[in-house]
Amino acid sequence: MKRFGVLTSGGDTPGMNAAVRAVLKAGLNKGYNVLGIYHGFKGLIDGRIEQLQYPDVHNIIDRGGTILRTARSQDFRSEEGQQKAVEVMQAYNMDGLIVIGGDGSFNGANALAKRGICTVGIPGTIDNDLGYTDFTIGFDTAINNVMSEISKIRDTMRAHDRVGVVEVMGRNCGDIALWAGLVGPADIILLPESPMSWDDAAKQLMVNKLKGRFTSMVIIAEGAGHADDFVDFLKQKTDVEAKAVVLSYIQRGGDPSTADRVLATRLGAKAVDLIEQGVMGGRAVGIRNNAIIDVSLDEALNTKKVFNEELYRLNSIMSKF
Ligand code: F6P
């Protein structure tokens, strides 16, 4: 019987379950046994593996998190850990492995590919920081989560004539802040990729106040600094009253959006096609111009993420009043 494994790794993301479901259903449809590996690469090394069946993925497409659990494994970073993982895969007669996660997980998948394992990566991270694909699974849900929180925060800021400074996730990538900021909307977006200094942002908030706009919203990507620090900075430089809100894990949970469910389903099915073809060297699936693509894991990891200047420029127009 042909069989392959599937695992989720790194930070969880809404839509991971939808991807696991798609992988299982596409795999069973092609006559595979699909093995669920629990707790990421650590679970692979430890042999936490169970065969998945249809009931395991019943009613999970609408659930955040991951039924396979996830982890960031130190053990797997060593040569010994990777060798152990290969041995476990051989012991289970796995023909391949599908890894759902972000760049750290893709590095792990690539290490196994270099050891001769048929490995396919599915991009699952709210950060949208992988340059080879237009979108990663979870990003759309995360920006929807951020938008709905911004609306609530704006209500109370407006009631007190305050400035809301909302910190969002994304590591070194500002996409969550940029997209949610454009339509949240935010008056100021502070990003790791953009040139706006904290001084300029403070001046802008003062100008807003002079023009009679007492409530402004600022979104700060975690890669550009912390909301608390920016609020302290505003205290020293301006007379606006600002409050910091760190959205944290709220933006990573909840039921996945339609866009994420569709993306996860398309990418999951494509990953199984590649396993069936027995692709070697490591591949990653993704989406470009709404077409599903696959590239080598090397290319996926080395393609620089291009900053979306168009959206940033658009925001500078849309935030005027
Ligand atoms: O990579 C996803 C992400 O949510 C980042 O945006 C964030 O910086 C990080 O993970 C948080 O990691 P942890 O779950 O380990 O706190």
In the chain, where are the structural domains located?
3-138+256-302, 142-253
CB contact at 8 A, 58 and 89:
no
Position 74 pLDDT exceeds 90: no
Residue nearest to atom 16 of ligand 1 (CA): 11
**Using one digit for the tens of pLDDT, what is the confidence trace for 279-291?**
999 999 999 999 9
CB contact at 8 A, 257 and 233:
no
Residues 81-94 have a mean pLDDT of: 97
Position 5 pLDDT exceeds 90: yes
Position 193 pLDDT exceeds 80: yes
**pLDDT at residue 149, as a whole number:** 97
Ligand 1 atom at minimum distance from 170 CA: 6
Cis, bond preceding 123 (omega within 30 deg of 0): no
Q: How far is the CA of 169 from the centre of ligand 1 (A)?
A: 7
CATH for the 142-253 domain, from 2.40.50.140, 3.65.10.10, 3.30.70.270, 3.40.50.460:
3.40.50.460
Backbone angles phi, psi at 279, to 5 degrees: -55, 140
Compute the distance between CA of residue 90 and CA of residue 24 in angstroms, rounded to an integer. Answer: 20
Contact 295 CB / ligand 1 (< 6 Å): no
215: left (phi over 0), alpha (psi -120 to 50) or beta: beta
Three-class DSSP category at 236? helix
Has domain 3-138+256-302 been given CATH number 3.30.360.10?
Answer: no
Residue nearest to atom 12 of ligand 1 (CA): 11
**pLDDT at residue 73, as a whole number:** 84
What are the strands of the beta sheet with 242-246, ordered from one edge?
A: 188-190, 216-221, 163-168, 242-246
Backbone angles phi, psi at 61, to 5 degrees: -60, -25
Residue nearest to atom 1 of ligand 1 (CA): 11
Catalytic residue flag (residue 127): yes
**pLDDT at residue 187, as a whole number:** 96
Contact 127 CB / ligand 1 (< 6 Å): yes
Strand ranges, E, within 198-313: 216-221, 242-246, 283-288, 291-296
Q: Which one of the listed residues 12, 103, 127, 260 is annotated catalytic?
A: 127
Contact 141 CB / ligand 1 (< 6 Å): no
Q: How far is the CA of 124 from the centre of ligand 1 (A)?
A: 12
Q: Token pair of 138, please?
A: 């979870």
Please tell me if the domain spanning 3-138+256-302 has the same topology as the one spanning 142-253: yes
Residue nearest to atom 8 of ligand 1 (CA): 171
**pLDDT at residue 195, as a whole number:** 76
**Using one digit for the tens of pLDDT, what is the confidence trace for 90-131?**
999 999 999 999 999 999 999 999 999 999 999 999 999 999
Lowest mean pLDDT among 70-74, 164-168, 244-248, 298-302: 70-74
Compute the distance between CA of residue 137 and CA of residue 129 in angstroms, rounded to an integer. Answer: 11
Residue nearest to atom 13 of ligand 1 (CA): 11
Reported confidence tier of residue 155, pLDDT bands at 50, 70, 90: very high
CB contact at 8 A, 102 and 125:
yes
Compute the distance between CA of residue 158 and CA of residue 151 in angstroms, rounded to an integer. Answer: 11
Position 75 pLDDT exceeds 90: no
Contact 2 CB / ligand 1 (< 6 Å): no
**Average pLDDT of the chain, as a whole number:** 97
pTM for the whole structure: 0.97
Residues 24-48 have a mean pLDDT of: 97
CB contact at 8 A, 41 and 5:
no
Contact 170 CB / ligand 1 (< 6 Å): yes
Contact 169 CB / ligand 1 (< 6 Å): yes
Position 1 pLDDT exceeds 80: no
Contact 9 CB / ligand 1 (< 6 Å): no
Position 194 pLDDT exceeds 90: no
**pLDDT at residue 202, as a whole number:** 98
Reported confidence tier of residue 138, pLDDT bands at 50, 70, 90: very high
